[in-house]
Amino acid sequence: MFPKKPPMGFNTWNTFGENISDEMIRQTADAMVEKGLRDAGYEYLVIDDCWSEKQRDPVTDKIVPLKSKFPNGMKAVSDYVHSKGLKFGMYSCAGVRTCADYPGSYDHEFLDAKTFAEYGADFLKYDFCYKPEHADGPMLYRRISMALENCGRDILLSACNWGCDDVHKWIRSTAAGMYRSTGDIFDSFVSFRDIFLSQLAHTDANTPGCFNDIDMLTCGMRNFGNVASTGCTDTEYRTEFALWCMLGAPLMLGCDVRKIDDVTLKLVTNKGLLRINQDGECRSLFVAHEDCNNLRNVYARLLSDHEIALMFTNLCDDKGAAWFTPDCIGVTANAGKVLQLTDAFTGEDAGIVKEYKRVELDAHDCAVFIAKVVDA
């Protein structure tokens, strides 16, 4: 499947790990609707690892949902998710076992794709653990691509090989609609900072149809659950969300959306930030001004309607300023033009930039603007 905009949704892994169940998925579906997340664009509800029995069915060879967690089978869960106007996502692995040691799809790709189609799945996250040594990684993503493309249902392939085998170079020749390019995120500032910075070398590798996935968001986790670490402040979650939006990365929520707090809900449904993330032109982010070893950069991205997203970052551990001049993005000093800014977080007018813009920022904070080029 070829998504035209970065996919948005929720994935169980960050908070729940193996503690998933029919009930928890139904409650999450309810919450996604009641809290307005579905209407904001978060449409996929994805079950990650640990959903199946430890062995395949000895007769059919199919993967079987774990009875104790999913007593009604997967089709019933999927039907419920669909009844809420959401899409349903499953998880498997290119190797012989999943990362948490459940059956993987190696050499069962066509059978499993058919099984997921029978469940009514719309999305498949496809991991990379327990790959037989002789098997070629890219070929395994080609196999599952073929199987999904021919399973009779539109299923978005979400590849997850953590950036191995130079994934940026070949993944767009498979049917993957998004692909993980980084190791696992944890709920800490350092974790999301390093994940984001690792992709500065690959900003051109994020395109419609095949989006660069830098992992599920930790926003609002408040250091609870499976990928807990040091936790983040609200300022840090704000910066994390803005970085993902600026890159045009898929937005998969990882907090417990049944208990999402108001600050996080407001953040992840922010119209200005989502407008940047979901911009139909899907252009690449670029560094407009580099400072402090990339820790105080200003980023820019051309948007539709001749607008430009600008993000001023302070990823340093102390207060400081990020700055740029309009000619950093191509507006020359003698052009007779200035930049008219709107604060993306608040929607408020943020004035005009003539020659220079400097934003003082607390440690780990950011500012995001939507700019227009207007006559001076």
Task: Please report how close the Cβ of residue 66 comes to ligand GAL at its closest, in angstroms.
Answer: 15
Q: Which of 184, 194, 234, 343 is catalytic?
A: 184
* Residues contacting residue 192 through CB under 8 Å, at least 6 positions apart: 185, 218, 232, 236, 239, 240, 243
Establish whether 127 is a catalytic residue: yes
Q: Rule CB under 6 A: is residue 109 a binding residue for ligand GAL?
A: no
Write out the binding residues for ligand GAL, residues 32-61 only, by CB under 6 A. Answer: 48-49
Residues 73 and 65: beta-carbon distance below 8 Å: yes
Task: Please report how close the Cβ of residue 271 comes to ligand GAL at its closest, in angstroms.
Answer: 28
Q: What CA dihedral angle connects 17, 20, 24 and 25, to 10 degrees?
A: 90
Q: Rule CB under 6 A: is residue 13 a binding residue for ligand GAL?
A: yes
Three-state SS for 223? coil
Radius of gyration of the chain (CA): 21
Binding segment for ligand GAL (CB under 6 A), chosen from 78-86, 94-102, 116-124, 254-262, is 94-102
Among 160, 171, 308, 359, binds ligand GAL (CB under 6 A): 160
Task: Name residue 375's beta-bridge partners.
Answer: 337
Establish whether 262 is a catalytic residue: no
Q: Rule CB under 6 A: is residue 240 a binding residue for ligand GAL?
A: no
**CB-side exposure of 332: number of CA atoms within 13 Å?**
2
170-180 in b/e form (b: 16+ CB < 10 A) is ebeebbbbbbb
Q: Which of 127, 187, 256, 291 is catalytic?
A: 127
Q: Rule CB under 6 A: is residue 79 a binding residue for ligand GAL?
A: no
Q: Rule CB under 6 A: is residue 213 a binding residue for ligand GAL?
A: no
Q: Rule CB under 6 A: is residue 100 a binding residue for ligand GAL?
A: yes
Three-state SS for 342? strand
Nearer to ligand GAL, 160 or 249 (CB): 160
Q: Rule CB under 6 A: is residue 184 a binding residue for ligand GAL?
A: yes
Residues marked active site are found at: 127, 184
